[in-house]
Amino acid sequence: MSTSNTSVQGQRLGLTCCPTCTNLCQTQQTICSRCGQAVTSRDHSSIQKSWALLITAAILLFPANLYPITVMTSQGQVRKDTIFSGINHLIQLDLLPIAIILFTASILVPMLKIVGLGIYLLAISFELPISKRKLMAGFHIIEWIGRWSMLDLFVISITAALVNMGQIFDAKPAPAATAFALVILLTQLAAKVLDTRLLWDRLESNDDRN
């Protein structure tokens, strides 16, 4: 499909799309006529908000991975597991499929999200010549897989509730669990607040091919 004659921004026609109900509004409107919520053509502060959330999440990623996330007691022996050592332990137990699921949900997805969103924000903030189409494809993947990080927290809550027999057999969450929960929350928010239309405005001149 040729982009030369089809790529007209809504902004150029003086139109914008209500973020709440997707109703078409005129750019000078401040309140959507259908749902009564605030309408803005572009949210320029969203880049700053998204950066702030993302940087906080990136910092929290360290305690989330370095501190233990669960404490397991089995026949008097106490094991403190970090996310990584827990997965390692699963591999030793020959539970490779489970190890792969947990590795993807707890390590790969949060890292990819932070790196991916970082690249995306850098591209908007510094007008880097990266293909917009690729950035957007990455963004859609980030939005879709992000929620799967919750898996580990669910598993911890089920395990902690079931395995609770004092010295003989016991499982408890450890400090990294809170840090990890905050990483998930903050990265989801960072993707949600970002106004992706800014990418297509700002890179228009640098990368017209895409």
Partner 1 sequence: MDRDVLDKSIVLCRSCDLVVRKRALPSGVRALCPRCNSYLYDTPYCSINGMLALCLAALALYFPANFFPVLELHFLGSIRTTTIFGGAMSVADQGYWVVAIAVLTAAVIAPGLLILSVLFQVLIVKYQLHNPFFRKIYKGFLCQHKLISQLSMLEIYMISIFVSVFQLSDYTDLYFGIGTFCFTMLFIVVIFLQREYDIEHMWSVLDEYQ
Residues 45-74 that bind partner 1 (CB under 8 A): 74
Least distance between partner 1 and beta carbon 51 (Å): 19
Q: Which is nearer to partner 1, 104 or 125 (CB)?
A: 104
Contact of 102 with 82, CB cutoff 8 Å: no
Task: Describe the crossing of helices 176-193 and 46-66 by its angle, rounded to 10 degrees.
Answer: 160
Q: How far is CA 176 from the centre of its chain?
A: 18
121 binds partner 1 (CB under 8 A): no
201 binds partner 1 (CB under 8 A): yes
Tokens of 80: 């403190």
Among residues 3, 4, 5, 77, the one that binds partner 1 under rule CB under 8 A:
3
133 binds partner 1 (CB under 8 A): yes
Least distance between partner 1 and beta carbon 161 (Å): 4
Neighbours of 131 (CB within 10 A): 13
Q: Which is nearer to partner 1, 20 or 48 (CB)?
A: 20
Amino acid at 185: L
Render the burial of 141-171: b for 16+ CB within 10 Å, e for the rest.
Answer: ebeebbebbbebbebbeeebeeeeeeeeeeb
Q: Which of residues 73-112 bind partner 1 (CB under 8 A)?
A: 74, 90, 93, 95, 97-98, 101-102
166 binds partner 1 (CB under 8 A): no
Q: Which stretch binds partner 1 (CB under 8 A): 44-52, 60-68, 113-121, 170-178?
A: 170-178
Least distance between partner 1 and beta carbon 48 (Å): 20
Amino acid at 14: G
